[in-house]
Structure 1
Amino acid sequence: MTTKTLLARASLAALSVILPGTSGAFAQDAAVAADGPGPRRVIENVIVQAQKRSETVQTVPIAMTAFSGDELERKFAKDIADFSGSTPNVQLAPEGISPFASSFFMRGLGTDERESFSDPSVAVVVDGVTEARASVALTDLLDIESVEVLRGPQGTLQGRNATAGAILVRRAAPDVSEFQAMGGMLAGNYGRLEAKGMVNVPLVDGVAAFRLAVKSSTSDGFYENRFSNEKVGGQDRITLLPSFKYVTDNFDMVLRGEFVRVRGDSSTLLAYNTCRVDPTLMASSGGANDAMVDILAQQFGGDVAAASCAREPDKESYAINQNRPQGEFNDLDVWGITGEMNYTLPDIGTITYIGNYRHTDEHSTLDPDGTVGSLFSSNDFTSHYQTSHELRFASEFSDFVDFVAGVLYLRQAYDLDRTQFLGFVAPPAQIEFNMGSAQRNEQWGLFAQANWHLTDRLTLVTGARYSADKKRMDICAAAPGDCAGRIETLDESWTNVSPRIGLNYQLADTLFAYGYWARGFRAGGFNGNASSAALAGPYDPERVDTYEVGFKWDGFDNMLRVNGAAFWMEAKGLQRSISKQSPSGSVDVITDNAASARLRGLELEVTALPFRGFSLSGSVGYLDAKYTDYCEDLNGATPNDPSLLPCGPAVGLTQPVDLTGLPLNRAPKWNARLAGTYDFPVGDAGTLSLNAEWIYESSQLTTQAGFPTGTVNGITNYNGVVVSPLRGPSNIVNASITWYDADDRYRVAVFGKNLTNEIYILRTSTISGVWNFAMLNAPRTYGIELTYNF
């Protein structure tokens, strides 16, 4: 064994202890990674499209993590939320109230909203097309080539709303030269069954091909409803992805179709109420308990009311007792088509056009009170479409400069009809309220980014995007009766320029450093849930300035990768939910530009191959996020916590208070991941792969408002349970064992997620001091998967 090999092993072992690094991609290769048994592997340079051109992840001046298709298979990921914890300072979770909506946060900024009138601040871009709604971002990951997670503002190239970051999903394109086919089945607990398949057929060798990927999945859900003695939270889903590719010498075209059909239950919301006084002792607490608890005590008795009091989450929390009066279902239909065409002008550059149309229909019912009573439920019909067209030109114009420039046009529209059934206003009678909103949005964008090669190693990066947004909203405020004669129309437009400037320096062949300043822009909008046009808005755009420096290094003959970044962000005009006095004297919860914040942090990613067949990967992220200006009322007519000091004059029932001490939600100070994979041959029978992963997040706020509203104090119930908006630290352990045959055609895998069955509150919500509810994470899941490549 050589001195160099000994030094490499010692360095890798030390780094694997002190640097719990990030996810990396690996490839089997003829190059020797290190001495020892098992397949030979090297760290793979995943080809990414983060800057709208093909390049390796190690030369992109952005803090990012890329996952290859093989890595996705090893994660047994259903949707993008399964990547949460895989990258530093990134929280990817379901929104909670909707089973299809995303709540994606990066570096403390994100969107916790299912409504279509709210623009997401983490852009999800699928095959080059930005998905304009967060409310349907949790679709199947099927036949995926790669996923790229970009942290920090990406507005210059990825769109005006990417103030927190972007997630780029690229599906596999048809192969014009080779027939391919695969099939697979998965069975897991909670009734999870999946079947998937793919076939790729060259129609004209080297010229044209057709590809079809299909997936069907069913599940029973995690919850047992003792009220109806049935499982709750189940879902039946089918996804079809047909595609066609045509290639000539200088031209290629890919047409992609999408069809998704989901029939399932609505989300399960758990009552999480304040009960300072034992509700079994009295029908009314005189305001010491949430109003919903008193209503339940009066209608159904103290035992039923006590069941709605908050409790520490545990495995019994998945046993619920809810009447779910509307049947509580959530049906979704999505269809769309995307076309991409590339024409290469030899020695000049490439012209690219991407066009898309996507239509969504959703019908959902919801039981937010989460009890045996019919106190509050809703019935929603939502229809949405978007169409976009992007034309761009990329050129390596000379040895001195290369650039990407283009234009984007986006149009989207949604219509929402909602009926609310209120049984807590005058119990036991129910009052039916109807509301609706319709929004039309048009956006033009001009963007360009150029790399000026000042020397062989030093590059100046300049870029900017000009955005012009126009929105029009028709709003019918919630009231008894239909919306005829009650529709009011609002419209507004905004323009913005989002610049970016940076320096890249190739210090050595394997060491890349960068620094930049960029401004992100999130569009303004209207409040589709407002009770009047006066409170519907508009609210203005929010702005985020980011300063970031970072490095990317590969060493020891491609056996070690270390990437790091440090950032400072200034956010102004943050869109937050606040309370406002309406002209009629009531109080509305609306979105407005309520706050400013400062966010700073560090990120480190490491991938190592200590010896042949064994890989270590992981990440660590540190985030220091705080409000610098936040003077608003969050709880309307309800008295503020005494610890909150007034910071402005009262307006009717509202009193602004100083909220700068409130943490940002979904912004844990620390998060880390450590994973290991060991592959070894099993005689002539193939290869066995052992994989284990640990994901850690420190405590974090689970609601934007805090509890009591505006604080993190929490309240202690009569039975000692603390009703807190803070989620404690979490440790998630995942593992799998996979067997591959010698020809890599068969695969059998046994996997488990959240093996220690750690249960915590994913999100809490406070509704005007009337009631609170909570949503839980997924409990322990496991299964077996079989796949076959033809």
Structure 2
Amino acid sequence: MFAFILDKARPLETRLSHLDNLVSRGGRSRRPAQERIMTYTKTQLWLAGTACAIVAMAQASSAQAQSAAPPKIQDAASGEIIVTAQKREQSLQKVPVSVSVIGATALAANRVAGIEQLAQIAPSVNFTNSANTRGQGVSVRGIGTLNFSDGVEPSVSTVIDGVVIGRSAASFFDFSDISRVEVLRGPQGTLFGKNASAGAINLVTEKPSLTRNSLDGTISYGTFNDFRLKGSASMVLKDGSVALRLSGFRSTADGVITNLYNGKNLNNINTWGLRGKLLWDMGDNTSLYIIGDYSANNRRCCVSTIRSILPATTYYNGQTRAQLTANQQIGPLNRTVNIDGDAFGNQSAGGVSAEFNTELLGQTLTSVTAYRAFKTYDNNDADGVQVDVYNVNNALQHQKQFTQELRLTSPAKQKLEYVLGLFYFYQDLDTVTQVKGTGFTALPAGQYLGNQVDRSIRNNNGAAFGQFTYHPTEELSLIGGFRYTAENATANFARSVLAGANGPATGLGGPVYTSPALHFSNKDFSYKLGADYKFSRDVMAYITYTRGYKGPAINLLNNLTASVVNAGQAILKPEIARNLEVGLRTQMLDRKLTLNVTGFHETFTNFQAQTFNAVLSTFTLANAGKLTANGVEVEAIAHPAQGFNLSANVAYTDTKVEGFVIACYPGQTLALGCGANSTQDVTGQPLANAPKWAYTVGGDYTHEINGSLQAKGTLGYTYRSNVFFAYADPNTVQKGYGLLNGSLTVETKDKRYRLTLWGKNLTNQHFATSIGTGFRDTSTTGAGYTQLLTSDAFRTIGVEAGVRF
């Protein structure tokens, strides 16, 4: 596992080069070799110190520890829902954390292929779309980070098989071979740490079986030429000790948008991926689990359609907005654009990880070492019309990360249970952005305006963490957790005018500017306190108070200026979350009914937010004063009869922002709240894309047809109340809507062969995943608006065939 770190046979420079190219070929490092060597040497020393500290902790606690086998990989069939929300395998009903679990069956039945579709079955999760994956974002309980700046991390962490994903964009991949998704609501920094101030999405993939060979494959076809092929195979290489699992997928679909300029369909699906896993049980409660994966996603996306216009908006050639959009059916159902620039989003991601478990003085020592790389290259036609205003608006980004986590876990069912650990994260991120076009200026043929922006950022994050659970009685448990974080980051920013350009790009760029090195260094102590009480085997209540943390952010947006840097506003303050939570976990009627209720009061100070100035057509970055979220979450599962299952999940979330001043929306008057300097105080407004009500209800029924066949029907309905995508702007409101999904499956009783007829959004409810002002289609009296539509906003049906051995 530490073979790379401890390999002294090769020169360090050679090993660094090998690491850089292990996953992503063609990536380039802009650091001098000496700097890379120093960084890597510090990492080795840190890991060596970590190992010593873990051993010391184990020896200090050995007097209290009693022998118990660490968690072993096995094929256990249990009716309980098992989660790892507290870094150990536990029954969901015994975990004092607000967590919802979505298994592989539910994901498949609702055709949820990635994180961006989780909101369709997880009411507390929201997804906001953008012109590219770098600007997309996930929120939990209405709170999440949406911005394009490389220097701002997400507030909702994504973790896959124990590895934190450093960039939001790198987490938008296909749910292939996923065992379950755990949505952890509220601050999760104590155990999940990095960028988990609002919550965490924990993805767990299927593990190889040490005792049984298996093969599973599906092929499906549906509306919009939606073709999906998935397969996995688990092979026992040595009975009981070594197993291999391989999986892969291929997904394609036509886009729902047509470009009238050239006839191409846009916002399509075109992705594939592979994952391999090796599990080795060495005996004596020791195992090694190695995972490698790679995926690619090459699409013509992410294009907004025009929802409304200001007809008189005039371009440099005298054409008006009305003339340029005359052949489109403007409105909420508009599925056409007329653009002469390229629209694409090509990205790839991959990595390797090694998880090592062993018993040390009666406790479990776990090490998770991982290296991941991510690359994206995207472009959108920013002007949205067939005039070269800014046809080139692209970004090429390379990200590499290294993570190391060491944990010491006590045996379960002891008077004192604990998890102690150390964590290290390093990220190297480089982005080159280009903007090119006429910029609303009547230029001679062949001439243009344009900018290139080069930026880079290096992050180091180290932490010591722990959580203790003390059981003074069989019924009462006291909980205490902490995380001490030390982190730093250094960023560079350089904006130049493109060679041959007449000048800088107005709005999306700016004059030549190279900033001094932007740096922050920060330390923080976060904690968790709480208690739970077991009234009986099937009833447990808990209360917790958690302080979460997300480190400072750096403004690296295209329009960064010297005045912002000199005023000290390029570095944003840390984001601090506080959450008071009470919960009740119950099972009734001989465990045929599970009912869980959670109430919460959550606040964020100095929330890192990006706002859009519609008049200047540019983004700004700032600390919001305070965010508040109050709510109740109810989850119920019932088994009223053999083969019949029902479920319901309801989330009521009341959010608001305080002390946040932003630009007025176009056409906003004094009577509508627009104040001095064309700004508005949005105090009291709910957060963007944060529905007050969201719920999911569903059921499935399995019935035997004859001695060899059985049928299974599923039906699910998801509702989300109205939201707006820009503070106070009534033109960005998405009305409430509900989605009805269903499927009918016929399969053999041994479940080897199955055929499924499926349907999504059966009532054909149309909705947008983002609404915003049109580029330059604004004035003091109003604005035109655009929207992002996906295939989920239309009725789709299809058929799927599957085989399992």
> How far 1:657 moved relative to its partner?
3.3
- Aligned to 1:83, the other structure's residue is in SS state helix
Partner of 1:48: 83
**1:365 partnered with 2:379:** yes
Letter in 1 for 2:122: T
2:314–2:320 CA contact under 8 A, matched in 1: no
User: Residues 331-355 of structure 1: CA distance to partner in whole angstroms, max 9, x if unpaired?
Assistant: 1122210110111236x21000001
Partner of 1:754: 761
- Cα distance in 2 between the residues matched to 1:575 and 1:94: 16
Letter in 2 for 1:550: G
User: Residues 41-95 of structure 1: CA distance to partner in whole angstroms, max 9, x if unpaired?
Assistant: x99321111000000111111111112223333233211222214233322x253
Letter in 1 for 2:714: N
Question: CA distance change for structure 1 residues 427 and 763 in 2, over 3 Å: closer, same or farther?
Answer: farther
Q: Structure 1: any 5+ residue segments left out of the alignment? A: 1-41, 280-284, 286-292, 581-585, 715-723
1:160–1:467 CA contact under 8 A, matched in 2: no
> How far 1:271 moved relative to its partner?
3.0
Letter in 1 for 2:114: D
Question: CA distance change for structure 1 residues 302 and 161 in 2, over 3 Å: closer, same or farther?
Answer: closer
- Cα distance in 2 between the residues matched to 1:94 and 1:587: 19
- Cα distance in 2 between the residues matched to 1:515 and 1:243: 39
2:582 to 541, 545, 549: 549
1:764–1:773 CA contact under 8 A, matched in 2: yes
User: Which structure would you say has the larger RCO, counting Cα contacts within 8 Å and 6 or more residues apart?
Assistant: 1
Q: TM-score of the superposition, structure 2-length normalised?
A: 0.83
Partner of 1:658: 681
1:101–1:138 CA contact under 8 A, matched in 2: no
User: Residues 418-453 of structure 1: CA distance to partner in whole angstroms, max 9, x if unpaired?
Assistant: 111233331466312211211111101111000011
Letter in 2 for 1:319: T
Partner of 1:376: 390
- Aligned to 1:139, the other structure's residue is in SS state coil
Question: CA distance change for structure 1 residues 302 and 151 in 2, over 3 Å: closer, same or farther?
Answer: closer
1:226–1:321 CA contact under 8 A, matched in 2: yes
- Cα distance in 2 between the residues matched to 1:551 and 1:345: 35
Partner of 2:51: none
**1:403 partnered with 2:418:** yes
Letter in 2 for 1:432: G
User: Residues 362-389 of structure 1: CA distance to partner in whole angstroms, max 9, x if unpaired?
Assistant: 1111113222222223122111111100
Letter in 2 for 1:616: L
**1:109 partnered with 2:143:** yes
Question: CA distance change for structure 1 residues 496 and 527 in 2, over 3 Å: closer, same or farther?
Answer: same
**1:303 partnered with 2:323:** yes
- Cα distance in 2 between the residues matched to 1:485 and 1:515: 51
Partner of 1:618: 648
2:190–2:483 CA contact under 8 A, matched in 1: yes
Question: CA distance change for structure 1 residues 485 and 214 in 2, over 3 Å: closer, same or farther?
Answer: same
**1:215 partnered with 2:222:** no
- Cα distance in 2 between the residues matched to 1:450 and 1:605: 27
User: Residues 442-495 of structure 1: CA distance to partner in whole angstroms, max 9, x if unpaired?
Assistant: 101111000011211111100011111211111013644499984642111111
Q: In percent, how many aligned pairs have the same letter? A: 25
> How far 1:205 moved relative to its partner?
1.1
Partner of 1:78: 113
Letter in 1 for 2:396: F
- Aligned to 1:84, the other structure's residue is in SS state helix
2:622 to 582, 592, 601: 592
Question: CA distance change for structure 1 residues 745 and 578 in 2, over 3 Å: closer, same or farther?
Answer: closer
Partner of 1:515: 543
> How far 1:628 moved relative to its partner?
2.6
1:444 to 462, 473, 477: 462
2:364–2:411 CA contact under 8 A, matched in 1: no
> How far 1:656 moved relative to its partner?
4.5
- Aligned to 1:376, the other structure's residue is in SS state coil
**1:61 partnered with 2:96:** yes
1:144–1:169 CA contact under 8 A, matched in 2: yes
Partner of 2:402: 387
Question: CA distance change for structure 1 residues 166 and 432 in 2, over 3 Å: closer, same or farther?
Answer: same
**1:609 partnered with 2:644:** no
- Cα distance in 1 between the residues matched to 2:749 and 2:617: 67
User: Residues 308-327 of structure 1: CA distance to partner in whole angstroms, max 9, x if unpaired?
Assistant: 89x5412xx1233222x1x3
- Aligned to 1:426, the other structure's residue is in SS state coil
> How far 1:296 moved relative to its partner?
7.8
Cα RMSD of the aligned pairs, angstroms, is: 2.6
- Aligned to 2:686, the other structure's residue is in SS state coil
2:153–2:166 CA contact under 8 A, matched in 1: yes
2:107–2:113 CA contact under 8 A, matched in 1: no
- Cα distance in 1 between the residues matched to 2:249 and 2:674: 55
Letter in 2 for 1:600: N
Partner of 2:786: 773
1:386–1:411 CA contact under 8 A, matched in 2: yes
1:456 to 453, 474, 478: 474
Partner of 2:332: 313
- Cα distance in 2 between the residues matched to 1:640 and 1:674: 39
Question: CA distance change for structure 1 residues 301 and 231 in 2, over 3 Å: closer, same or farther?
Answer: closer
Question: CA distance change for structure 1 residues 302 and 87 in 2, over 3 Å: closer, same or farther?
Answer: closer
> How far 1:640 moved relative to its partner?
5.8
1:368–1:773 CA contact under 8 A, matched in 2: no
Question: CA distance change for structure 1 residues 674 and 397 in 2, over 3 Å: closer, same or farther?
Answer: closer
2:434 to 419, 423, 427: 419
- Cα distance in 1 between the residues matched to 2:130 and 2:693: 23
Question: CA distance change for structure 1 residues 485 and 572 in 2, over 3 Å: closer, same or farther?
Answer: closer
Partner of 1:525: 553
1:97–1:114 CA contact under 8 A, matched in 2: no
Question: CA distance change for structure 1 residues 646 and 665 in 2, over 3 Å: closer, same or farther?
Answer: closer
1:531–1:588 CA contact under 8 A, matched in 2: no
Q: Structure 2: any 5+ residue segments left out of the alignment? A: 1-76, 501-510
Aligned residues: 701
Question: CA distance change for structure 1 residues 643 and 765 in 2, over 3 Å: closer, same or farther?
Answer: same
**1:153 partnered with 2:181:** no
Letter in 2 for 1:763: S
2:218–2:803 CA contact under 8 A, matched in 1: yes
The range that moved more, 47-56 or 62-71, is 62-71
- Cα distance in 1 between the residues matched to 2:764 and 2:134: 24
- Aligned to 2:572, the other structure's residue is in SS state coil
1:670 to 693, 700, 723: 693
Letter in 1 for 2:710: T
Question: CA distance change for structure 1 residues 534 and 251 in 2, over 3 Å: closer, same or farther?
Answer: farther
- Cα distance in 2 between the residues matched to 1:94 and 1:646: 26
Partner of 1:28: none
1:238–1:260 CA contact under 8 A, matched in 2: yes
The range that moved more, 596-605 or 226-235, is 226-235
- Cα distance in 2 between the residues matched to 1:409 and 1:691: 44
1:488–1:533 CA contact under 8 A, matched in 2: no
- Cα distance in 1 between the residues matched to 2:708 and 2:470: 53
- Cα distance in 2 between the residues matched to 1:587 and 1:775: 18
- Cα distance in 2 between the residues matched to 1:115 and 1:685: 57
- Aligned to 1:73, the other structure's residue is in SS state helix
**1:697 partnered with 2:712:** no
- Cα distance in 2 between the residues matched to 1:739 and 1:478: 62
2:709–2:747 CA contact under 8 A, matched in 1: yes
1:558 to 591, 601, 625: 591
Q: TM-score of the superposition, structure 1-length normalised?
A: 0.84
1:168 to 198, 202, 214: 202
Give runs of aligned pairs for residues 83-482 of structure 1, distance below 5 A: 83-91=118-126, 93=127, 95-99=129-133, 102-249=136-283, 250-275=285-310, 279=311, 285=312, 293-295=313-315, 298-299=318-319, 302-305=322-325, 311-314=330-333, 317-323=334-340, 325=341, 327-345=342-360, 348-377=362-391, 378-396=393-411, 399-427=414-442, 430-477=448-495, 479-481=497-499
Partner of 2:9: none
- Cα distance in 2 between the residues matched to 1:138 and 1:579: 24
Letter in 1 for 2:365: I
- Aligned to 1:299, the other structure's residue is in SS state coil
> How far 1:101 moved relative to its partner?
6.1
- Aligned to 1:684, the other structure's residue is in SS state coil
- Cα distance in 1 between the residues matched to 2:529 and 2:458: 33
